[in-house]
Amino acid sequence: MKIDIVTIFPEYLAPLELSLIGKARTTGVVQLDVHDLRRWTHDVHRTVDDTPYGGGPGMVMRPEPWGLALDELAADAAGGAPGDGAGQAGDGAGSAGDGAWSGRLVVPSPAGVPFTQALAHELADESHLIFACGRYEGIDQRVLDHAAARMPVTEISLGDYVLFGGEVAVLVILEAVIRLLPGVLGNADSLVEESHADGLLEAPGYTKPPTWRELPVPEIVRSGDHGRIARWRRDQALLRTAARRPDLLAALAPDGCGKVVGLPREARGAHQLLEPACPRSQRHALSPRKQQR
């Protein structure tokens, strides 16, 4: 997978050299390049922002450097000439970038669609991702509109809060995406078992010693009975999800409801709790706060 990141703070992306992402780069699973947006500025002050039309606080990122950056990065990968060849100098009103572009543009933004594991899988299927990190009050909308006529563009939000810019969001998105690529995780089973793989949160985990600060590991997970352990983990996943993320339970597919109804006797509390959670009309019946954590 080819990944290009455009930012005015390339140093912010330094963690992408570490750990398993760094390894994915050296082994060639991903070819990742971080670009300084100012490379595509041509004025003496290398300006990337300006005051917003219509007034209001803050600054908006100017379209010209972004347009030139995408001309080069998107058209480059398509194997064609960068953009339409129009403009290293200024790109004032020019319409650079005619012809198809390759890749998918991802723009982190608090106004984007929520980032989920499903979206991480979708991005992991792409051969070329280009990330545009906005700062200030965001990027001039015409950059996204112009690109959207040539390639898929997705504005993605990590959550309902505001960051200074998109750089940290790119770190998060890439960590979620790169670990899904073949050859990055040693044990592909961990992708199957983890939180969100089946729409539920994952059960708690334990390791040695069997007792630590007077806290024992639950007897079931030490029993060696894999059938019981699997059922216990499923029960714990349901209890946790009900307590912490009732929205996930409500979104479970109908066959997910069937699994819930099939809970064993020791999880009857979860059964009572969860069975009504599936029909949306009865969602009020869910009362996770009465349950443990």
Residues at the site binding ligand JBE, with contacts judged by CB under 6 A: 108-110, 156-159, 161-163, 165-166, 169
Is 61 or 286 the residue whose CB approaches ligand JBE more closely? 61
Minimum distance, C-beta of residue 138 to ligand JBE, in the bound complex (Å)? 8
> What is the Cβ-side half-sphere exposure of residue 111, based on CA atoms within 13 angstroms?
5
Give yes or no for a cis peptide into 209 (omega within 30° of 0). yes
CB-wise, 163 or 250, nearer to ligand JBE? 163
Q: How far is the CB of 75 from ligand JBE (least distance, A)?
A: 26
DSSP state of 247: H
Nearest distance from C-beta of residue 137 to ligand JBE, angstroms: 10
Alpha helix segments (H runs only) across the chain: 19-26, 63-77, 117-124, 141-148, 167-178, 189-193, 219-222, 226-244, 246-250, 254-261, 268-274
- The distance of closest approach from Cβ of residue 150 to ligand JBE in the complex, given in angstroms and rounded to an integer, is 23
Nearer to ligand JBE, 157 or 291 (CB): 157
Taking the mean position of all CA atoms in its chain, how far away is CA 9?
20
Compute the least distance from the CB of residue 165 to ligand JBE, in Å. 6
Residue with tokens 């012809």: 99
Beta bridge partners, 215, equal: 212
List Cα–Cα distances, 111 to 32, 76, 138, 141, 248, in angstroms: 26, 29, 10, 12, 22
CA distances in angstroms from 31 to 101, 129, 130, 223, 280, listed in the order given: 18, 10, 12, 45, 44
Hey, CA dihedral for 164, 169, 171, 172, is it positive or negative? positive
- For residues 160 and 189, which CB has a smaller minimum distance to ligand JBE in the complex? 160
163 or 180: whose CB is closer to ligand JBE? 163
Shortest distance, position 4 Cβ to ligand JBE, whole Å: 17
Pick 89 or 162: Cβ nearer ligand JBE: 162
